[in-house]
Each structure stands twice: as C-alpha cells, then as structure tokens.
Amino acid sequence: MNRFEGKNVLVTGAAQGIGRGIALCLAKEGANVVINDRANVEAAEEIVNTVRAAGREAVFWQADVSDPAAVDAMFDGVVDRFGRIDVVVSNAAASVREPIIEAKWENVLGTLEVTQFGVFHVCQKAAQQMVKQEPDTRSRGKIVIISSVQSEVAAEGAAAYNMAKAAINHFARTLAVELVEHRINVNVITPGWIDTPGERVFYTEEELQANGRLLPWGRLGTPDDIGKAAAFLASDDADYITGSILRVDGGYVVARSTVD
C-alpha cells in the first residue's frame, strides 16, 4: 500500500525506538518524513539516509520539543520546505525513574517538560498549521499522540511519566473536540512494553527476553507494531476516528486487570 504517497509527515523523538519505527513505516508507504530529535544526530541521519535510499524525501530537524520557540522554528522550517504538513506524530518523551519519596524536582520537571508540555507545544503548532490548510482528500491533517499503558497502570518509580501520559490522553480528547469542525483527526496510541534501546538502560537482554515471554502475547512489542498502528490512524482508513485511544500492548492491560 502507498497510503501516504505525496504526504508530508513530522515525527518527534524519531531517532530511535518507537519514533524510528513509526517514521520508517510511514516512509515505506510513500510519505516524505521529517525526523525530529533532540540529541541523537547520528541515529537520525541514518534514518534520513534509509528513507532517501527508498526514494522518499527525508530531513532531520534537531529541536527540543520542550522549548516552544524551537517547536515554532521547526514547523516554520518544515512548511517552508514542503508547503504543508499532513501528519504529525507527537512521540518524544523523557523519563527519570525514581520512587516518589526520593524524586528530585528537577527530574520530575524535566520529565513533564518533554512528555507532557512538549506534546502540548507540538500539537498546538500542528493544529495552528493544519487549520490553515486546504483539505487533502478527506481531512486537513492527522495528529497522532504516542502515550503509554502507564497512563492506566501505576508503574512504580515512574510517577512523573505516569501522570504526564495520563494528562496527554485527556489533552488529546480535548484537542479532538476542538478540531473536529476543521476535519482534523486527533488520536492516541498507548503502547505496552516495547523492545526499544531505552529499555536496555534498565534491563539486560536476557531479562527483556524473559519478561517478554511472560506477557500475554508471549513477546515484547516492537517499534514496527506501533508504526503500523500509527500508519492506520494517520491514513484515510481512519477518517471516521477521532478522540480515540488505541491500546497496542499484546493484551497486557486486559490480562493485568483480570488478575487484579
């Protein structure tokens, strides 16, 4: 399928992990892709080269989504380059794992600035741009927000991240209500335990594989699993879906709630 032929897509936090999986899935279906990341320059440029080798346009835009001025400059630059933005995937996140009673405020605030406020900045700017655009086929644009099952499950040691993810879920519903008259779709994906480089900060390879086998689906999720879900929500196939939260977790939350 080439559901995104000629479409321009911006993915934040796209140098590795889930963001990388989403960017590559959309490019595979024809999208021109803007790879945003704050620091992983080498990894981001590798994705850009991969997408270009496949015959699609790709650029890397280094920006910190917690900085509204940097987000403004990024969107202005992308629009200057491509003329319009058809899909924005707000994926960038940060987390420092600490028990609440030991948490340092600078770590809490750093998590919120990227994981919650960064989503606000990116989606606000996306909405401002999309409402000015003429509808392309069925909509003026698609916004997909990457949240987490930790918006529902109280994972220990991640209070700031948990509450940020819960907050962006309700933010997305609010944005969907405000943008429906403009025919801009806003939806959320809540990934479960996904096999990403970030997980290797906290677990060994053996621990990850062992834990994956304990999950209901028998494995950890992959960035490609999330990429395919994002491609669906960003496509015309999801034209009649807005304000929804799609859980992609291999049955983790359902199984947990049954046990609880």
Tell me the pLDDT tens digit for each residue of 110-150.
999 999 999 999 999 999 999 999 887 788 999 999 999 99
115 and 165 in contact (C-beta within 8 Å)?
yes
Read off the pLDDT of residues 38-89 as tens digits, 9 standing for 90 and up: 999 999 999 999 999 989 999 999 999 999 999 999 999 999 999 999 999 9
- Where are the strands (E) in 82-194, listed by range? 87-90, 141-146, 184-191
For domain 8-259, which CATH number applies: 1.10.1660.10, 1.10.3720.10, 3.40.50.720, 3.20.20.70?
3.40.50.720
pLDDT digits (tens, 9 = 90+) for 233-258: 999 999 999 999 999 999 999 988 76
pLDDT computed for residue 18 by the predictor: 97
Please report, as a single letter, which amino acid is at residue 124.
Q
Domain boundaries, given as residue ranges, for the chain: 8-259
**What residues act catalytically?**
161
From CA 237, how far away is CA 140, in angstroms rounded? 15
